[in-house]
């Protein structure tokens, strides 16, 4: 139990950290783990962008060369006489170089940039969803993979019947953190885990309470930590607010929390639905 408790704390801490501005600084600090000097394979991967300059610094989403499968195809066609081992080695090297950057690698290529740009403008004007978030939710980097891995492991140890409230708290916290930080792996795994556990749980009251506590706890930390210009100060005060919120939630009946939370969802429903995490949060509200 001690190990599982610490694992959950680590998963929540890492997920929360990468959901606030300080997390972006951490991501940048990881961008030089290995030498990123361009090889002939990297040049082939970036060839289309260098010729067209499509997408600017976001070109990996649009140039048809940077998804895992597309990158492998570019590596294979680089040199006619290199060995399979050389291709495989340089593929993973190029992949890691991109993963260590904050931009990461796209999970799929956006074929119609003009249509995407129009969609991004619409989402920004109507729902205040930034274009950078829309791109980020479609890509992964090294820190997101690390955070998602810890989160997945923590969720794997949370299926015991007597821990349903704790599991709901963990899963809902990770859903919110995954949505805010635009971590697609963490977001999807957390939503699926939460939904699967909900359908199997007979004690809906405890599960609902855990879900709402998780959303409000993680939400209070993210909102508070993001308010301060100093990332370190924001995290410290965010943790203080989180502790206070957690203590207060223990004194309130779940029905009272639910009524307030339901009203907030109705009030801000359009904005939430426009976000990637909105689907998961909307699903949770439908369940509770």
pLDDT tens, residue by residue, 214-242: 999 999 999 999 998 888 899 999 999 99
* Partners of 140 in beta bridges: 105
Which pLDDT score, from 0 to 100, does residue 74 have? 97
Task: Give the 3-state secondary structure of residue 46.
Answer: coil
Higher pLDDT, 201 or 132: 132
Cα angle value 133/218/181 (rounded, 5°): 15
- Segment 84-103, tens digit of pLDDT: 999 999 999 999 999 999 99
Q: What is the pLDDT of residue 279?
A: 47
Average per-residue pLDDT in the chain?
86
Residue 276: per-residue pLDDT? 46
Provide the pLDDT for residue 125: 92
Mean pLDDT of the region 116-143: 93
pTM to 2 decimals?
0.84
Residues 50-59, mean pLDDT to the nearest whole number: 92
> Which are the contacts of 189, defined by CB distance < 8 A and separation ≥ 6?
148, 151, 152, 155, 174
pLDDT at 31: 80
Alpha helices in the chain (DSSP H): 2-17, 21-29, 40-45, 47-52, 68-76, 84-99, 113-127, 131-136, 142-156, 164-180, 184-200, 204-225, 231-249, 254-267, 269-274, 276-287
What is the average pLDDT across 245-253? 79
Give the mean pLDDT of 55-82: 95
Q: How many CA atoms lie within 13 A of 266 on its CB side?
A: 6
Q: How many CB atoms are closer than 10 A to CB 267?
A: 10
Q: What SS3 class is residue 106?
A: strand
What pLDDT, on the 0 to 100 scale, is given for residue 78? Answer: 96
- At 28, is the pLDDT very low, low, confident or very high (cuts 50, 70, 90)? confident
Whether the CB-CB separation of 217 and 177 falls below 8 Å is answered with: no
- Residue 142 has a pLDDT of 94
CB atoms within 10 A of CB 71: 23
Confidence (pLDDT) at 281: 52
Q: 110 with 60: CB under 8 angstroms?
A: no
pLDDT, residue 53, reads 92
């Amino acid at each position: 139990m001690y190990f599982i408790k610490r694992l959950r704390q680590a998963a929540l801490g890492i997920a929360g950290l990468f959901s606030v501005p300080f997390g972006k600084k951490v991501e940048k600090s990881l961008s030089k783990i290995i030498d990123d000097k361009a090889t002939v394979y990297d040049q082939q991967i970036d060839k289309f962008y260098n010729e067209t300059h499509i997408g600017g610094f976001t070109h990996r989403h649009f140039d048809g060369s940077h998804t895992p499968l597309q990158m492998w195809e570019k590596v294979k066609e680089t040199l006619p006489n290199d060995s399979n081992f050389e291709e495989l080695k340089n593929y993973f090297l190029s992949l890691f170089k991109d993963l260590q950057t904050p931009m990461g690698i796209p999970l799929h290529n956006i074929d119609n940039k003009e249509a995407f740009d129009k969609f991004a403008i619409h989402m920004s004007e109507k729902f205040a969803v930034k274009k950078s978030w829309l791109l980020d939710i479609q890509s992964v980097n090294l820190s997101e993979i690390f955070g998602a891995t810890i989160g997945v492991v923590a969720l794997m140890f949370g299926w015991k019947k007597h821990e349903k409230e704790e599991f709901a708290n963990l899963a809902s916290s990770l859903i919110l953190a995954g949505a805010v930080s635009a971590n697609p792996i963490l977001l999807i795994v957390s939503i699926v885990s939460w939904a699967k556990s909900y359908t199997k749980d007979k004690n809906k009251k405890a599960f609902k309470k855990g879900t709402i506590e998780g959303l409000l706890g993680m939400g209070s930390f993210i909102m508070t930590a993001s308010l301060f210009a100093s990332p370190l100060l924001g995290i410290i005060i965010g943790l203080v607010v989180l502790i206070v919120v957690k203590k207060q939630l223990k004194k309130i009946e779940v029905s009272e929390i639910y009524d307030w939370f339901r009203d907030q969802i109705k009030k801000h429903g359009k904005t939430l639905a426009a976000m990637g995490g909105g689907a998961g949060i909307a699903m949770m509200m439908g369940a509770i």
